[in-house]
Structure 1
Amino acid sequence: MKLHLDTKKFIGIWYILASIFALGIVYWAEHYLHLAPCELCLWERWPWRVLILLGVVSFIAPRKYAKYPVALGLVCLLVSVGLAILHAGVEHKLWASPASECRAPVFKGGSFKDWMAAMPARPNKPCDSPDYLFGLPISMTETGGLYACFVFVIAFLKSKKLFRN
Protein backbone atom coordinates (compact mmCIF):
# COMPACT_ATOMS: atom_id res chain seq x y z
CA MET A 1 0.00 0.00 0.00
CA LYS A 2 1.42 3.34 -1.05
CA LEU A 3 0.64 6.41 1.02
CA HIS A 4 0.02 9.44 -1.15
CA LEU A 5 -0.37 12.95 0.23
CA ASP A 6 -1.56 15.67 -2.06
CA THR A 7 0.54 18.82 -2.23
CA LYS A 8 -1.45 20.94 0.20
CA LYS A 9 -1.47 18.22 2.85
CA PHE A 10 2.25 17.58 2.39
CA ILE A 11 3.05 21.28 2.82
CA GLY A 12 0.69 21.55 5.81
CA ILE A 13 2.45 18.65 7.54
CA TRP A 14 5.83 20.04 6.47
CA TYR A 15 5.06 23.44 8.05
CA ILE A 16 3.81 21.85 11.27
CA LEU A 17 6.69 19.39 11.71
CA ALA A 18 9.38 21.90 10.69
CA SER A 19 7.99 24.43 13.18
CA ILE A 20 7.73 21.92 16.01
CA PHE A 21 11.32 20.88 15.36
CA ALA A 22 12.58 24.50 15.35
CA LEU A 23 10.66 25.43 18.51
CA GLY A 24 11.68 22.14 20.14
CA ILE A 25 15.37 22.88 19.59
CA VAL A 26 15.13 26.33 21.15
CA TYR A 27 13.06 24.93 24.04
CA TRP A 28 15.73 22.27 24.61
CA ALA A 29 18.54 24.85 24.42
CA GLU A 30 16.77 27.16 26.84
CA HIS A 31 15.49 24.65 29.39
CA TYR A 32 18.07 21.86 29.28
CA LEU A 33 21.24 23.67 28.23
CA HIS A 34 20.17 26.74 30.24
CA LEU A 35 20.94 29.18 27.44
CA ALA A 36 19.15 32.47 28.04
CA PRO A 37 17.45 33.87 24.94
CA CYS A 38 17.89 37.51 24.05
CA GLU A 39 15.01 39.67 22.83
CA LEU A 40 15.81 39.03 19.16
CA CYS A 41 15.85 35.28 19.86
CA LEU A 42 12.32 35.63 21.19
CA TRP A 43 11.28 37.58 18.08
CA GLU A 44 12.65 34.78 15.88
CA ARG A 45 10.22 32.27 17.42
CA TRP A 46 7.08 34.06 16.23
CA PRO A 47 7.22 33.09 12.53
CA TRP A 48 7.46 29.43 13.56
CA ARG A 49 4.42 29.74 15.81
CA VAL A 50 2.42 31.34 13.02
CA LEU A 51 3.67 28.66 10.61
CA ILE A 52 2.11 25.92 12.77
CA LEU A 53 -1.28 27.60 12.43
CA LEU A 54 -0.82 28.07 8.68
CA GLY A 55 0.18 24.42 8.36
CA VAL A 56 -3.03 23.33 10.06
CA VAL A 57 -5.12 25.65 7.88
CA SER A 58 -3.42 24.52 4.65
CA PHE A 59 -3.92 20.88 5.65
CA ILE A 60 -7.66 21.20 6.30
CA ALA A 61 -8.57 23.90 3.75
CA PRO A 62 -10.25 22.90 0.50
CA ARG A 63 -7.72 22.51 -2.31
CA LYS A 64 -8.75 25.68 -4.15
CA TYR A 65 -8.16 27.81 -1.01
CA ALA A 66 -5.06 26.02 0.31
CA LYS A 67 -2.70 28.11 -1.79
CA TYR A 68 -3.35 31.15 0.45
CA PRO A 69 -2.08 29.69 3.76
CA VAL A 70 0.73 28.00 1.83
CA ALA A 71 1.80 31.37 0.36
CA LEU A 72 1.53 33.05 3.77
CA GLY A 73 3.70 30.25 5.16
CA LEU A 74 6.36 31.05 2.57
CA VAL A 75 6.20 34.68 3.68
CA CYS A 76 6.58 33.56 7.31
CA LEU A 77 9.69 31.63 6.37
CA LEU A 78 11.12 34.68 4.60
CA VAL A 79 10.41 36.74 7.72
CA SER A 80 12.27 34.10 9.74
CA VAL A 81 15.26 34.35 7.39
CA GLY A 82 15.13 38.16 7.61
CA LEU A 83 15.08 38.08 11.41
CA ALA A 84 18.03 35.68 11.40
CA ILE A 85 19.97 38.04 9.10
CA LEU A 86 19.10 40.99 11.35
CA HIS A 87 20.20 39.09 14.46
CA ALA A 88 23.37 37.73 12.83
CA GLY A 89 24.32 41.30 11.86
CA VAL A 90 23.89 42.33 15.49
CA GLU A 91 25.99 39.34 16.64
CA HIS A 92 28.78 40.31 14.23
CA LYS A 93 28.43 43.96 15.34
CA LEU A 94 27.55 45.15 11.84
CA TRP A 95 24.65 47.20 13.25
CA ALA A 96 22.91 47.88 16.54
CA SER A 97 19.94 45.87 17.69
CA PRO A 98 16.54 47.47 17.10
CA ALA A 99 15.29 45.94 20.37
CA SER A 100 15.78 48.25 23.33
CA GLU A 101 15.83 45.20 25.63
CA CYS A 102 19.12 44.13 24.02
CA ARG A 103 20.99 47.10 25.44
CA ALA A 104 22.09 47.53 29.03
CA PRO A 105 19.97 50.04 30.94
CA VAL A 106 21.54 53.38 31.73
CA PHE A 107 20.97 54.81 35.20
CA LYS A 108 21.49 58.48 35.91
CA GLY A 109 21.27 59.88 39.39
CA GLY A 110 18.68 58.88 41.93
CA SER A 111 18.97 56.76 45.03
CA PHE A 112 19.84 53.09 45.31
CA LYS A 113 16.13 52.39 45.75
CA ASP A 114 15.36 54.21 42.45
CA TRP A 115 18.16 52.32 40.74
CA MET A 116 16.82 48.95 41.95
CA ALA A 117 13.27 49.87 40.95
CA ALA A 118 14.47 50.64 37.40
CA MET A 119 16.08 47.21 37.00
CA PRO A 120 14.32 44.86 34.54
CA ALA A 121 12.16 42.08 35.99
CA ARG A 122 14.36 39.46 34.35
CA PRO A 123 17.95 39.83 33.30
CA ASN A 124 18.47 40.49 29.63
CA LYS A 125 20.97 38.67 27.49
CA PRO A 126 22.76 40.98 25.07
CA CYS A 127 21.70 40.33 21.48
CA ASP A 128 25.29 40.61 20.29
CA SER A 129 26.38 37.63 22.39
CA PRO A 130 25.95 34.54 20.17
CA ASP A 131 25.42 30.99 21.41
CA TYR A 132 27.05 28.06 19.65
CA LEU A 133 25.80 24.46 19.71
CA PHE A 134 27.52 21.20 18.93
CA GLY A 135 30.89 22.89 18.40
CA LEU A 136 29.72 24.36 15.11
CA PRO A 137 31.43 27.57 13.97
CA ILE A 138 28.06 29.23 13.33
CA SER A 139 25.71 30.63 15.96
CA MET A 140 22.26 29.32 16.78
CA THR A 141 20.89 32.38 14.99
CA GLU A 142 22.76 31.55 11.80
CA THR A 143 21.81 27.88 12.07
CA GLY A 144 18.15 28.90 12.48
CA GLY A 145 18.37 31.12 9.41
CA LEU A 146 19.85 28.30 7.33
CA TYR A 147 17.16 25.96 8.60
CA ALA A 148 14.44 28.46 7.62
CA CYS A 149 16.02 28.66 4.14
CA PHE A 150 15.94 24.86 3.88
CA VAL A 151 12.28 24.67 4.97
CA PHE A 152 11.43 27.49 2.54
CA VAL A 153 13.11 25.79 -0.44
CA ILE A 154 11.33 22.47 0.16
CA ALA A 155 7.95 24.20 0.62
CA PHE A 156 8.50 26.45 -2.41
CA LEU A 157 9.45 23.56 -4.69
CA LYS A 158 6.47 21.48 -3.55
CA SER A 159 4.04 24.43 -3.75
CA LYS A 160 4.78 25.21 -7.40
CA LYS A 161 2.37 22.44 -8.37
CA LEU A 162 -0.32 23.90 -6.10
CA PHE A 163 -0.01 27.39 -7.60
CA ARG A 164 -0.20 26.11 -11.20
CA ASN A 165 -3.71 24.80 -10.64
Structure 2
Amino acid sequence: MGGARLGGLVVAAGSAALLGGALGFQYLGGLYPCELCMWQRWAHVAALAAGLLALIFRGGLARAGFALAVLALLAGAGIAVFHAGVEQQWWQGLTACGGATATGSAADLLQAVETAPIVRCGDIAWSLFGLSMAAWNALMSAGLAALALAAARRR
Protein backbone atom coordinates (compact mmCIF):
# COMPACT_ATOMS: atom_id res chain seq x y z
CA MET A 1 0.00 0.00 0.00
CA GLY A 2 1.41 3.38 -1.03
CA GLY A 3 2.11 6.16 1.43
CA ALA A 4 -0.86 8.35 0.46
CA ARG A 5 -3.20 5.33 0.58
CA LEU A 6 -1.93 4.31 4.02
CA GLY A 7 -2.27 7.91 5.21
CA GLY A 8 -5.79 7.99 3.77
CA LEU A 9 -6.66 4.87 5.76
CA VAL A 10 -5.35 6.48 8.96
CA VAL A 11 -7.35 9.66 8.34
CA ALA A 12 -10.54 7.82 7.37
CA ALA A 13 -10.41 5.49 10.36
CA GLY A 14 -9.48 8.25 12.81
CA SER A 15 -12.12 10.68 11.59
CA ALA A 16 -14.76 7.93 11.60
CA ALA A 17 -13.84 7.11 15.21
CA LEU A 18 -13.99 10.77 16.28
CA LEU A 19 -17.35 11.25 14.54
CA GLY A 20 -18.63 8.08 16.19
CA GLY A 21 -17.52 9.41 19.57
CA ALA A 22 -19.27 12.74 18.98
CA LEU A 23 -22.47 11.01 17.92
CA GLY A 24 -22.24 8.72 20.95
CA PHE A 25 -21.94 11.71 23.27
CA GLN A 26 -24.99 13.22 21.58
CA TYR A 27 -27.32 10.26 21.24
CA LEU A 28 -26.21 8.11 24.17
CA GLY A 29 -24.98 10.80 26.56
CA GLY A 30 -27.50 13.53 25.78
CA LEU A 31 -24.83 16.18 25.06
CA TYR A 32 -26.23 18.16 22.15
CA PRO A 33 -23.79 19.99 19.85
CA CYS A 34 -23.48 23.73 19.49
CA GLU A 35 -22.79 25.49 16.19
CA LEU A 36 -19.00 25.18 16.53
CA CYS A 37 -19.32 21.50 17.44
CA MET A 38 -21.20 20.96 14.18
CA TRP A 39 -18.48 22.75 12.22
CA GLN A 40 -15.89 20.42 13.77
CA ARG A 41 -18.00 17.44 12.72
CA TRP A 42 -18.18 18.71 9.14
CA ALA A 43 -14.38 18.93 9.06
CA HIS A 44 -14.21 15.25 10.05
CA VAL A 45 -16.82 14.34 7.42
CA ALA A 46 -14.64 16.06 4.80
CA ALA A 47 -11.48 14.35 6.12
CA LEU A 48 -13.24 10.97 6.08
CA ALA A 49 -14.45 11.42 2.50
CA ALA A 50 -11.06 12.64 1.26
CA GLY A 51 -9.28 9.86 3.18
CA LEU A 52 -11.50 7.30 1.44
CA LEU A 53 -10.58 8.85 -1.92
CA ALA A 54 -6.91 8.46 -1.04
CA LEU A 55 -7.55 4.86 -0.05
CA ILE A 56 -9.55 3.92 -3.14
CA PHE A 57 -7.46 5.59 -5.85
CA ARG A 58 -3.79 5.33 -6.78
CA GLY A 59 -1.17 7.81 -7.87
CA GLY A 60 -2.01 11.48 -8.17
CA LEU A 61 -5.65 11.07 -7.12
CA ALA A 62 -4.59 9.26 -3.96
CA ARG A 63 -2.08 11.99 -3.14
CA ALA A 64 -4.66 14.71 -3.81
CA GLY A 65 -7.25 12.97 -1.63
CA PHE A 66 -4.69 12.55 1.13
CA ALA A 67 -3.67 16.21 0.95
CA LEU A 68 -7.31 17.30 1.16
CA ALA A 69 -7.87 14.95 4.10
CA VAL A 70 -4.95 16.40 6.04
CA LEU A 71 -6.09 19.95 5.25
CA ALA A 72 -9.60 19.11 6.50
CA LEU A 73 -8.12 17.73 9.74
CA LEU A 74 -6.02 20.84 10.24
CA ALA A 75 -9.05 23.05 9.54
CA GLY A 76 -11.02 21.03 12.08
CA ALA A 77 -8.22 21.44 14.61
CA GLY A 78 -8.29 25.20 14.01
CA ILE A 79 -12.06 25.33 14.55
CA ALA A 80 -11.64 23.28 17.73
CA VAL A 81 -8.96 25.65 19.04
CA PHE A 82 -11.28 28.57 18.34
CA HIS A 83 -14.10 26.74 20.14
CA ALA A 84 -11.90 25.96 23.15
CA GLY A 85 -10.93 29.66 23.28
CA VAL A 86 -14.61 30.64 23.29
CA GLU A 87 -15.21 28.19 26.14
CA GLN A 88 -12.33 29.70 28.11
CA GLN A 89 -13.62 33.21 27.30
CA TRP A 90 -10.34 34.15 25.62
CA TRP A 91 -12.37 35.61 22.74
CA GLN A 92 -15.97 36.05 21.66
CA GLY A 93 -17.80 33.26 19.84
CA LEU A 94 -20.33 33.30 17.05
CA THR A 95 -23.60 35.19 17.17
CA ALA A 96 -25.54 32.07 16.10
CA CYS A 97 -24.79 29.28 18.52
CA GLY A 98 -27.27 26.44 18.93
CA GLY A 99 -30.94 25.93 18.28
CA ALA A 100 -32.67 24.16 15.43
CA THR A 101 -34.53 25.56 12.47
CA ALA A 102 -37.63 24.26 10.76
CA THR A 103 -39.31 24.84 7.45
CA GLY A 104 -43.01 25.02 6.92
CA SER A 105 -45.66 26.90 8.82
CA ALA A 106 -45.16 29.34 11.64
CA ALA A 107 -46.56 26.70 14.02
CA ASP A 108 -43.87 24.23 12.88
CA LEU A 109 -41.18 26.85 13.43
CA LEU A 110 -42.53 27.70 16.88
CA GLN A 111 -42.66 24.01 17.81
CA ALA A 112 -39.03 23.51 16.68
CA VAL A 113 -37.86 26.51 18.69
CA GLU A 114 -39.74 25.40 21.80
CA THR A 115 -38.38 21.84 21.73
CA ALA A 116 -34.82 22.51 20.56
CA PRO A 117 -32.11 22.24 23.19
CA ILE A 118 -30.24 25.49 23.76
CA VAL A 119 -26.52 24.85 23.49
CA ARG A 120 -24.12 27.76 23.88
CA CYS A 121 -20.66 27.53 22.37
CA GLY A 122 -19.12 29.04 25.48
CA ASP A 123 -20.49 26.39 27.86
CA ILE A 124 -18.30 23.38 28.63
CA ALA A 125 -20.64 20.39 28.59
CA TRP A 126 -17.97 17.76 29.30
CA SER A 127 -14.31 17.76 30.25
CA LEU A 128 -11.59 15.26 31.12
CA PHE A 129 -8.38 16.19 32.95
CA GLY A 130 -9.37 19.85 32.69
CA LEU A 131 -9.74 19.81 28.89
CA SER A 132 -13.10 20.31 27.19
CA MET A 133 -14.35 18.15 24.36
CA ALA A 134 -13.33 20.91 21.92
CA ALA A 135 -9.79 20.97 23.32
CA TRP A 136 -9.57 17.17 23.06
CA ASN A 137 -10.81 17.37 19.48
CA ALA A 138 -8.14 19.96 18.65
CA LEU A 139 -5.43 17.70 20.07
CA MET A 140 -6.76 14.56 18.40
CA SER A 141 -7.29 16.23 15.03
CA ALA A 142 -3.77 17.70 14.98
CA GLY A 143 -2.34 14.40 16.22
CA LEU A 144 -4.25 12.45 13.59
CA ALA A 145 -2.94 14.79 10.88
CA ALA A 146 0.63 14.24 12.14
CA LEU A 147 0.11 10.47 12.32
CA ALA A 148 -1.31 10.43 8.79
CA LEU A 149 1.66 12.43 7.49
CA ALA A 150 4.05 10.01 9.18
CA ALA A 151 2.18 7.04 7.69
CA ALA A 152 2.27 8.62 4.23
CA ARG A 153 6.05 9.01 4.44
CA ARG A 154 6.46 5.27 5.03
CA ARG A 155 7.05 3.21 1.94
Query: What's the TM-score bracket when you normalise by the shorter of the two chains?
Result: 0.7 to 0.9
2:106 corresponds to: none
Q: Which residue of 2 aligns with 1:8?
A: 4
2:121 to 127, 131, 135: 127
Write the distance in 2 (CA, Å) between the matches of 1:34 and 1:117.
22
Question: Aligned partner of 1:127: which letter?
Answer: C
- Structure 1 pair 64–39 and aligned structure 2 pair: CA distance change class (3 A): closer
- Is 1:86 equivalent to 2:82 in the alignment? yes
SS in 2 for 1:120: helix
What are the ranges of 5 or more consecutive residues in structure 1 without an aligned counterpart?
104-115
2:18 aligned with 1:18: no
User: How large is the Cα RMSD of the aligned pairs?
Assistant: 2.6
Q: Secondary structure at the match of 2:131?
A: coil
Instruction: For 2:26, give the aligned amino acid.
Output: E
Letter in 1 for 2:63: K
1:139 is the counterpart of 2:135: no
Spell out, residue by residue over 1:28-62, the C-alpha distance to the aligned partner (whole angstroms, 9 max, x if none). Answer: 11111111211111111001111111111111212
The answer to whether the aligner puts 1:42 opposite 2:38 as a matched pair is yes
Deviation at 1:123, TM superposition (A): 2.7
Q: Which ranges of 4 or more aligned residues in structure 1 deviate by more than 4 Å?
A: 116-119
Unaligned 5+ segments in structure 2 are: 100-108
| Corresponding residue of 1:66 | 62
Preserved contact between residue 77 and residue 142 of structure 2 (Cα < 8 Å): yes
Judged with a 3 Å threshold, the aligned counterparts in structure 2 of structure 1 residues 26 and 49 are, in CA distance, closer, same or farther, namely same
User: Of 132, 143, 150, which residue of structure 2 is paired with 1:150?
Assistant: 143
Letter in structure 2 aligned against 1:154: L
Is the 1:39–1:99 Cα contact (8 Å) retained in structure 2? Answer: no
Residue type at the aligned position of 2:33: P
- State percent identity of aligned pairs: 23
Sort the Cα spacing of 1:125 and 1:69 in 2 relative to 1 into closer, same or farther, 3 A: same
Tell me which structure has the larger Cα radius of gyration.
Answer: 1
Is the Cα–Cα contact under 8 Å of residues 84 and 142 in structure 1 kept in the other structure?
yes
Aligned residues: 147
Q: TM-score, normalised by structure 1?
A: 0.78
Please say if residues 102 and 125 of structure 1, whose CA atoms lie closer than 8 Å, have aligned partners that are also in contact. yes
